[in-house]
Structure 1
């Protein structure tokens, strides 16, 4: 059996691929929003959709980390500590989870990729929890990145 045959095969331009895949995720609306905003999704197979999600997680993580760094300049007390923790979380996502997820998808090691996006979701959850008792200035960013990572978990799992 060839390695490639282990992945559920969908043909590019399969109109139902995105819709049927997104229906299985924890946030079908966000899933559809992400794929509908990417021209690459129209010709992508399931692996391609997984790579699109990882790219989205990477892009949003970069912009969130940049926002965190700006917010740190004027922060003090509990907010400063929470932002420092979040900076470490997003740095970990960008330095580790993203490359591991891409490598896992590209090398057909889907369990490896799934672990990486699961870790990214956990990192964001931990970041948000650091704002215990205070208002998080990055709640929208955290919700988006965590949502995209949770969607990526399901999409990668569909590749098995």
Structure 2
């Protein structure tokens, strides 16, 4: 009898251990497979970004969308704060105007993100795509206005990071719009 108890405890322990070892790997594969299928994003940056949030380990594709929105919101907020800090430096009038425009665009983008999550949860993917596309347009406008007069943008890294995170979010929303609920290297499952 004692040997049966120890065998069943050992079997239960092994099954529990196997579950915890396999589940994060499967979710990590979801992140990597999603990043591979997002053609417009850098794979390494995508995987690093999504995996930096612990919620991605337990997320399905829709959950990765929520993670990507939070990452983008954080990027928008930190860039807005960065712009506020560097505006106190001495800049020529044109660069100061560009920075002011960028500050306003990043503020508008942050406000738009407040509407994204409820719309996403309600399955209003077309609205989410429109809002995220607007965020990407603002980022592009912010960066390009500096070069119009031969200026070097002091926001190139921040704009590039925003573009990357926004593109990841938009890619995931596109998958959801297409009815994709999960994917792996060999197949895409559609609802």
**What is the TM-score normalised by the length of structure 2?**
0.73
User: Higher relative contact order at CA 8 Å, sep ≥6: structure 1 or structure 2?
Assistant: 1
Cα distance in 1 for partners of 2:117, 2:141 equals 23
Q: Does 1:153 align with 2:170?
A: yes
Cα distance in 2 for partners of 1:76, 1:107 equals 46
In the TM superposition, structure 1's runs of 4+ consecutive aligned residues that sit over 2 Å from their partners are 12-16
Any gaps of 5 or more consecutive residues in structure 2? Answer: 1-22, 178-191
1:53 alignment partner in structure 2: 68
**What is the TM-score normalised by the length of structure 1?**
0.87
Cα distance in 2 for partners of 1:32, 1:51 equals 15
Cα distance in 2 for partners of 1:72, 1:45 equals 41
1:3 alignment partner in structure 2: none
Residue by residue over 1:16-42, the C-alpha shift from the partner in whole angstroms, topping out at 9 and shown as x without a partner, is: 321211112212221101112111000
Residue by residue over 1:68-122, the C-alpha shift from the partner in whole angstroms, topping out at 9 and shown as x without a partner, is: 11111223311101101101110110112x1222122111111111111111111
Q: Does 1:63 align with 2:78?
A: yes
Cα distance in 1 for partners of 2:127, 2:62 equals 14
1:120 alignment partner in structure 2: 135
Give yes or no for contact 1:100–1:112 (8 Å, CA) kept in 2.
no
May I ask how many residue pairs the two structures share in their alignment?
A: 148
Give yes or no for contact 1:120–1:149 (8 Å, CA) kept in 2.
yes
Bigger drift between 84-93 and 108-117 goes to 108-117
Pairing of 1:9-158 with structure 2 (within 5 A): 14-15=26-27, 16-25=29-38, 26-27=40-41, 28-74=43-89, 75-96=91-112, 98-132=113-147, 133-158=150-175
RMSD: 1.4
Any gaps of 5 or more consecutive residues in structure 1? Answer: 1-11
Residue by residue over 1:108-153, the C-alpha shift from the partner in whole angstroms, topping out at 9 and shown as x without a partner, is: 1111111111111111111101212111111101100111101111
